[in-house]
Structure 1
Amino acid sequence: MRTVEVTPDIWMLQFPVGQAYVLRLPGANGWAMVDAGLPGHAEPVLDALAGLGARPEELRDIVLTHSHLDHTGSAAALAAATGARVLAGAADAAVIRGEVPEPPPVLEDWEVPLWESVQAGLVDAPPPAPCPVDREVGEGDTLDWGEEARVVHVPGHTAGSIALHLPASGVLFTGDTIANVEQLMPGVFNVDRQGVINAFRRQASLSDVDTACFGHGAPVVGGAGEALRAVAAGL
């Protein structure tokens, strides 16, 4: 796992597949995570937090943008080790808790070989442990992280996909609804392709977005809103 600074208060944790983010909250309010990485990576995440000066008990929240295992896999172990509460979109909560199976994506023809390649890379990954969801969130909900973090419901990649918008600092976490792999684009492997295009447009319409952090691909730091709107105009 690799740790990359995005801004002076946000770091990206890169896993063999996918990535998560840790945030130092303003005003000595502790730390938060957006997504939790692949199963079996709790210890490297805790080591990364320690390297940033965060004690386990300072991790307040783990926000899961959606239910896929490369985003939820280490959530249960991290929550147990830190006492952090876990938050997720209401429509994905039952999957994350292990109560129902993950709905399969509806693949476009061009996505099939890419899907097969990704699945081959995950063949040795253990299944994610069921994870309690302490708070189910949806459109309009807010989190008090020393600054307001707004939940945006953006279904399409999964039914319960959420984005997290921090207007005061100009940051947007998109989960897998938007990717930056070679170019900015709607995410792949969706339950509803048109839904994820709508999710892209919705996030592009948000004001006060300077930095965008994605589930796959490099963050855009500086001018992210303008970049998203330029792509959305062609969708």
Structure 2
Amino acid sequence: MGIMALRPFLYHVTLKFGQAYLWQDGDEFTLIDTGIPGSAEEISEAVQGSAIRRILITHGHEDHHGSAADIRARHGAPVHVHAADAAVVRGEARPAPPVLTEFDKPIWEHVQSLGVPEIVVPPSTVDVELAGGEVLDFGGGAQILHVAGHTPGSIAIYLPEHKVLFTGDTVANEGGVMLGVFNQDEDQALAGFRRLAELDVETACFGHGAPIVEGAGSALREAVNSHQKRRPI
């Protein structure tokens, strides 16, 4: 585990598997995603005894909501999830499989060849079902953007006062900024990517890949413009 300050009030938490982000207001933190099950201790260590005020889940995949129940129990922090993914986080439904594109297929085959065991995620209470369009009380006013496509309930979180964007898995930074892979609806995901690229962004925090601290808006726009040129790896 490692925690790194990206800029004032914003922290990147590298977990044993995956990553999460923390936004600090005073002595309280907002947690963006929770990693796989078993990540709660690492995240609690990262905040060094401070309170986690709320948990936001960008979408219903196990590497993003896997420790939500544990962190909620430790910190009393309400879990926020888009309504379309809430049943998955509650353990009432399984996430739908991705619809693989030609670009996705070799990546998917590589992942499957690693023999990664299935992750069993403890169900979590969902305290707040989001619809998109909400403005939450952190970071000077955090806008919730519904960007369906990776999953039906995928969200991004935008802090316009600080020009910070949390993209979830709609966008990745793996060998360069790109549309995220393994989407349930590629066209919807691309529309969400285009929407995010129109924002005034300085810092972008991705579900996968290193964050971009400066100049992220230009990187997002360039990636959208070159999307049709991408080829299988």
**Alpha-carbon distance change, 229 to 6 in structure 1, aligned in 2, over 3 angstroms:** same
Take 2:168 and 2:42, find their aligned partners in 1: how far apart are those partners?
21
Take 1:120 and 1:47, find their aligned partners in 2: how far apart are those partners?
33
Q: Determine whether 1:229 maps to 2:221.
A: yes
Asked whether the equivalents of residues 23 and 32 of structure 1 are also in contact (C-alpha less than 8 Å), the reply is yes
User: TM-score, length-normalised on structure 2?
Assistant: 0.91
Q: Determine whether 1:20 maps to 2:13.
A: no
What secondary structure sits across from 2:223 in the alignment? helix
Q: Determine whether 1:205 maps to 2:190.
A: no
2:151 matched residue in structure 1? 158
2:134 matched residue in structure 1? 141
Asked whether the equivalents of residues 139 and 161 of structure 2 are also in contact (C-alpha less than 8 Å), the reply is no
Asked whether the equivalents of residues 29 and 145 of structure 1 are also in contact (C-alpha less than 8 Å), the reply is no
Amino acid at match of 2:75: T
1:40 matched residue in structure 2? 38
Take 1:227 and 1:186, find their aligned partners in 2: how far apart are those partners?
12
Q: Which runs of 5+ in 2 are unaligned?
A: 228-233
1:132 matched residue in structure 2? 125
1:187 matched residue in structure 2? 180
CA shift, 1:77, in A, is: 0.2
Q: Determine whether 1:175 maps to 2:175.
A: no
Take 1:172 and 1:23, find their aligned partners in 2: how far apart are those partners?
11
Q: Residues 135-193 of structure 1: CA distance to partner in whole angstroms, max 9, x if unpaired?
A: 01122111011510000000010000000000001100000000001110000010011
Which residues of 2 match residues 113-128 of structure 1 at below 5 A? 113-119=106-112, 123-124=116-117, 126-128=119-121
Q: Which runs of 5+ in 1 are unaligned?
A: none
Count residues in correspondence: 227
Amino acid at match of 2:31: M
Take 2:91 and 2:102, find their aligned partners in 1: how far apart are those partners?
29
Q: Residues 84-105 of structure 1: CA distance to partner in whole angstroms, max 9, x if unpaired?
A: 0100111101111111111111
What secondary structure sits across from 2:53 in the alignment? strand
Amino acid at match of 1:160: G
Q: Determine whether 1:78 maps to 2:76.
A: no
User: TM-score, length-normalised on structure 1?
Assistant: 0.91
RMSD: 1.7
